[in-house]
Structure formats: C-alpha cells, structure tokens
C-alpha cells in the first residue's frame, strides 16, 4: 500500500543484503507450569481422587482479566504503532519529495550557471575567430607591401648603377646621388621592418588560435555537462530508465569546487580577451606602419625626382652655355683664319716695293765718281727700305701671334665639343635611363599593401 511506496521513495544508501540463512521450522517452546504446593493447595491427600481443578475462581478471573488487558494494551500499542508508521511514511514521503524538488531546483540553477559560461565562451570564440580573420587580412597587406618594395629598390639601385657611367668631369656626388642612396637605404629599412611585423602577425595569429582552441575545449565540456545535467533534471519517479547505483554516492578525488570551476572559465576568457586586445593593437600598429611606409617612400621618391629634374635643368643650362661659347669660338676661328690669310698676303705684298727700292739703291751704286752723291733721293730710298723691313717684321710678329691664337682657339673648340658630348651623355643617362625608369614606381596604394 502507501507504506510501501513511501519506503521506496527513501534513498537507500546500501542495497539490502540477500538472505543467507535458510528458512526452517522453529522448535516448539516448552512451557513449565509451577506446581501448586503449600497449605492452601489442592493437593490434599484426602481429596486427591476428586479435585481435578488446578486453579481457583479468583485466579480464573484474574487470568481472563489479564488476557483482556493484554489484548487491550496490544491493540492500543498496535494502533499507536500504526499511527506512527503512517505519520513516518507520510513524513518520509514529504521529505523525499522535498529533497527531490530541492535537487531538481539545484540542477536547474546549475544549468543556468553552465549556460552563462557557455554563452560567454561562445562569444569569446566567435570574437577571436573574427579577430584572427581581420589580422590575416592585415598580414596579406604586409606581404603585398613587402612585394611592392621590390620595384622601387630595383629602380634605385639601377639608377645608381646607370649614373656610374657618367664621364669624369660629370661623375659628381651630387644631390641626386645623395637622395638615391637615401632612397635605397630607406627601402632596405622598410623591408626589415615589414619582415619583423610579419613575424609578429604570424605569432599573434598562432596565439589567437591557441586560445580559441582552449576556449573551444572548455565550451564543448560545458555542452556535454549541460546535456548531462539537463537529462538529470528530467528524471522523475515515473521514469523507467532509473536504477540503483549504490557506489555513486561519493565525491570524486579530482572534483573541482564551484569557485575553481568558475575561475577556470573566467581565466580562459580573460587570457583570450588579452590576446584579442593584443591582436587589435597589432592591427592598428600595422595600419600605421603601412601608412607611414607608403608616405615615406612616396616622399623620398618625390625628393629623388625633384633632384633629377633640377640636375637635368642644370645640365641643360650648362650644355646651352657651352654650345653658345662653341659657336663664338668657331666664328672666331673663321675670322682668325681670314686674318692670318690677310697677314700673309700683306707680307707678300711688301715683296715688290722692297724689290723696287733695293733695285734702285743697287743701280744707283753704279753712279760714277762724284755722282755717287748722298742726295735726298738716296736718303729717301734708304729710309723706305728701313720702313718696309720694319713693317714686314711687325707683320710677321703679328702673324705668329695670330697663329698661336688660332691654335688656342682650336684647343678650346675641342675641349668644348668634348665637354658638350659629356653633358649630352649625362643628360641621356639622367633623363632617358633614370627618369624614364622611375615612371614604373608603384603607386602609394600598392605600397600601403592594397
């Protein structure tokens, strides 16, 4: 009846021990009645043959009363016992019900706690996953930017090599050279920086993944536990899939406390958060680095181009001036050559007058005796010869000077032509070779890793 139900509800700590003593017939109890002896006994020898009664009426009544009383007391005790048993059964039923209700409520509360941490972990896993994806995109940008530095470096080194082929007077360590060297150095430094940052990004991505994995393991344990506790919460007395597990009533050696349990997930999330923040900061840093790198390169490239433009302008200007001087020198050479020809002609022209004057003097030396007079004519002729000789001398001297001057002019012309060729070569190198090559310089967006 209800008693049996109530008993079933009480959790047993030990399974009942099976009966080991075999059932058998109990021996009969031997009752020994005391013999009635004494003065008032019915053992009088005289009446021995007739008195069969062992008891007296009062004894008989007493015996009956005793039985009534015993029956009454027995019933009363039994009734009290029944009432107590009923009350005990009811109390046991109520206790069992209340205990089960409390346990179910505790399981429900526990499910809420597990759900809370499970949700927190899930959010952290999703955040880390998204963060790692963003960081991976930044890593790709770094790789692209590193690749994009190849072209500028090749251009800068090529420019420097080309300019080695300028000829001696133009082989100067000018502003262009300084800026080009600065550019090559800058690109090398940038490449180092990008490589270091790439390593940092790879490292951070690995840390992100490690912490995501830790959180995922924690999360899957929570899911498993949630399902177990959820199932436990659904068990009821009507369910058929419950059974006795006497050995389960104990605490495991390795069991955690609610404090250490919560701290475990809290620490996992805290560490994951820390890595997430580090990752976010690293992404911001990469943004800044890529922005600065592309800006620096662009600025340096502009500085080099400006230096080239200035240098080419300077070379053009110098070349024009040299050409102008060459034109003048050439004109002067022509004039000088005409002048020399004229001088030679002038010297030649003095031959006839000299011959005339000298012949006159010669002929007059044959005048006889007193006729050989130092007359005016003689003086005139002699001074004419002197004048002619002097003017021929001065003309010859002038001719020598003019020829020397012509030689000098020719030298100057050669030097000017050589110098113009050198300048033309320099202009060709700087403009056609270097500046034309620099058009291939990548755009800022490419240097920023896009």
Q: Which of 104, 105, 126, 107 minimizes the C-alpha distance to 115? A: 107
CATH number at residue 291: 1.20.140
Q: Of all residues in the chain, what percent are helix, strand and coil, respectively (each to 5)? A: 80, 0, 20
Mean pLDDT for the stretch of residues 149-173 = 92
Residues 219 and 264 in one domain: yes
Mean pLDDT for the stretch of residues 101-105 = 94
Q: Give CA–CA dist 150/146, Å, rounded.
A: 7
Task: State the residue for tokens 């399981």.
Answer: 107
Residue 127 scores a pLDDT above 60? yes
Residues 338 and 404 in one domain: yes
Residues 172 and 222 in one domain: yes
* More reliable by pLDDT, 15 or 93: 93
Beta strand ranges found along 99-232 (DSSP E): none
Q: Chain-wide mean pLDDT for the chain?
A: 89
Task: State the residue for tokens 């029956």.
Answer: 71
Quick: pLDDT tens for 332-350.
999 999 999 999 999 999 9
pLDDT value at residue 424:
95
Would you tell me how many other CB atoms lie within 10 Å of the CB of residue 352?
9
Quick: pLDDT tens for 230-274.
999 999 888 888 888 888 888 788 888 999 999 999 999 999 999
Residues 350 and 269 in one domain: no
Q: Give CA–CA dist 215/211, Å, rounded.
A: 6
Q: How open is the CA angle 187-191-193, to the nearest 5 degrees? A: 115
For residues 162 and 434, the answer to whether their CB atoms sit within 8 Å is yes
Q: Which of 443, 436, 425, 438 minimizes the C-alpha distance to 183? A: 438
Please return the burial class of 192, using the count of CB atoms within 10 Å of its CB with bins 0-12, 13-18 and 19+.
Answer: exposed
Would you tell me how many other CB atoms lie within 10 Å of the CB of residue 164?
8
Q: Give CA–CA dist 111/417, Å, rounded.
A: 98
Say if 196 falls within a structural domain: yes
Residues 6+ apart with CB under 8 A from 337: 406
Mean pLDDT for the stretch of residues 197-219 = 97
The whole domain housing 268 covers 107-235+258-312
Say if 71 falls within a structural domain: no
Residues 415 and 379 in one domain: yes
pLDDT value at residue 387:
94
Say if 114 falls within a structural domain: yes
Tokens of 98: 């209340």
DSSP state of 168: G
Task: State the residue for tokens 């070379």.
Answer: 315
For residues 225 and 121, the answer to whether their CB atoms sit within 8 Å is no
pLDDT value at residue 15:
57
Lowest mean pLDDT among 27-36, 77-86, 276-285, 393-402: 27-36
Residues 223 and 357 in one domain: no
- The sign of the dihedral angle between the CA atoms of 332, 338, 341, 343 is negative
In percent, how much of the chain has pLDDT > 90?
72
Say if 339 falls within a structural domain: yes
Say if 98 falls within a structural domain: no
pLDDT value at residue 254:
85
For residues 145 and 290, the answer to whether their CB atoms sit within 8 Å is yes
pLDDT value at residue 442:
80
pLDDT value at residue 102:
95
For residues 207 and 275, the answer to whether their CB atoms sit within 8 Å is yes
Residues 130 and 276 in one domain: yes
Say if 422 falls within a structural domain: yes
Residues 399 and 295 in one domain: no
> Would you place residue 46 in the very low, low, confident or very high pLDDT band (cuts 50, 70, 90)?
low
Say if 252 falls within a structural domain: no
pLDDT value at residue 337:
96
Residue 429 scores a pLDDT above 70? yes
Quick: pLDDT tens for 294-335.
999 999 999 999 999 999 999 999 999 999 999 999 999 999
Residue 429 in 3-state DSSP?
Answer: helix
Residues 216 and 307 in one domain: yes
Mean pLDDT for the stretch of residues 355-369 = 93
Say if 4 falls within a structural domain: no
pLDDT value at residue 57:
87
Residues 339 and 421 in one domain: yes
Residues 228 and 122 in one domain: yes
> Would you place residue 48 in the very low, low, confident or very high pLDDT band (cuts 50, 70, 90)?
low
Tally of structural domains, the chain: 2
Lowest mean pLDDT among 52-56, 84-88, 145-149, 251-255: 52-56
pLDDT value at residue 196:
97
Residue-by-residue DSSP string for 67-124: HHHHHHHHHHHHHHHHHHHHHHHHHHHHHHHHHHHHHHHHHHHHHHHHHHHHHHHHHH
For residues 91 and 2, the answer to whether their CB atoms sit within 8 Å is no
Would you tell me how many other CB atoms lie within 10 Å of the CB of residue 136?
14
At which of 312, 333, 353 does a domain end? 312
> Would you place residue 50 in the very low, low, confident or very high pLDDT band (cuts 50, 70, 90)?
low
Q: Give CA–CA dist 51/34, Å, rounded.
A: 18
pLDDT value at residue 443:
81
Residues 195 and 334 in one domain: no
> Would you place residue 13 in the very low, low, confident or very high pLDDT band (cuts 50, 70, 90)?
low
* More reliable by pLDDT, 450 or 315: 315
């Amino acid at each position: 009846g209800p008693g049996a139900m109530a008993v079933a509800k009480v959790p047993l700590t030990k399974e009942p021990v099976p009966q080991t003593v075999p059932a058998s017939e109990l021996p009969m109890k031997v009752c020994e009645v005391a013999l009635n002896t004494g003065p008032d006994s019915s053992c009088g020898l005289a009446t021995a043959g007739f008195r069969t009664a062992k008891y007296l009426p009062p004894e008989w009544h007493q015996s009956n009363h005793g039985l009534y009383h015993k029956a009454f007391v027995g019933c009363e005790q039994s009734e009290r016992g029944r009432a107590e048993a009923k009350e005990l059964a009811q109390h046991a039923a109520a206790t069992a019900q209340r205990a089960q209700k409390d346990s179910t409520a505790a399981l429900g509360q526990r499910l809420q706690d597990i759900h809370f941490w499970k949700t927190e972990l899930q959010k952290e896993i999703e955040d880390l996953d998204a963060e790692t994806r963003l960081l991976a995109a930044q890593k790709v940008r770094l790789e692209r930017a590193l690749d994009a530095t190849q072209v500028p470096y090749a251009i800068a080194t090529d420019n420097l090599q080309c300019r080695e082929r300028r000829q001696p007077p133009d082989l100067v360590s000018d502003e262009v050279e300084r800026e080009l060297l600065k550019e090559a150095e800058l690109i090398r430094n940038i490449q180092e920086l990008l490589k270091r940052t790439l390593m940092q990004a790879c490292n951070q991505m690995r840390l992100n993944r490690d912490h995501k994995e830790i959180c995922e393991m924690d999360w899957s344990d929570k899911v498993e536990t949630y399902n177990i506790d959820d199932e436990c919460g659904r068990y009821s007395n009507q369910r058929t899939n419950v059974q006795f597990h006497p050995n389960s009533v104990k605490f495991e050696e390795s069991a955690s406390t609610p404090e250490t349990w919560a701290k475990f997930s809290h620490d996992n999330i805290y560490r994951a958060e820390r890595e997430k923040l580090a990752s976010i900061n690293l992404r911001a840093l990469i943004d800044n680095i890529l922005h600065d790198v592309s800006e620096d390169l662009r600025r340096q490239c502009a500085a080099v181009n400006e230096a080239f433009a200035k240098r080419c302008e300077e070379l053009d200007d110098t070349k024009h001036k040299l050409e102008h001087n060459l034109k003048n020198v050439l004109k002067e050479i022509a004039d000088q050559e005409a002048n020399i020809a004229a001088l030679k002609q002038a010297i030649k022209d003095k031959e006839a007058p000299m011959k005339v004057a000298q012949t006159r003097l010669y002929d007059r030396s044959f005048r006889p005796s007193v006729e050989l007079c130092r007359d005016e004519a003689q003086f005139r002729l002699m001074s004419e010869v002197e004048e002619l000789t002097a003017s021929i001398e001065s003309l010859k001297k002038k001719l020598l000077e003019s020829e020397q001057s012509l030689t000098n002019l020719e030298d100057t012309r050669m030097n000017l032509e050589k110098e113009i060729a050198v300048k033309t070569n320099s202009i060709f190198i700087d403009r056609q070779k270097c500046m034309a090559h620099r058009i291939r310089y990548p755009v800022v967006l490419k240097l920023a890793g896009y």
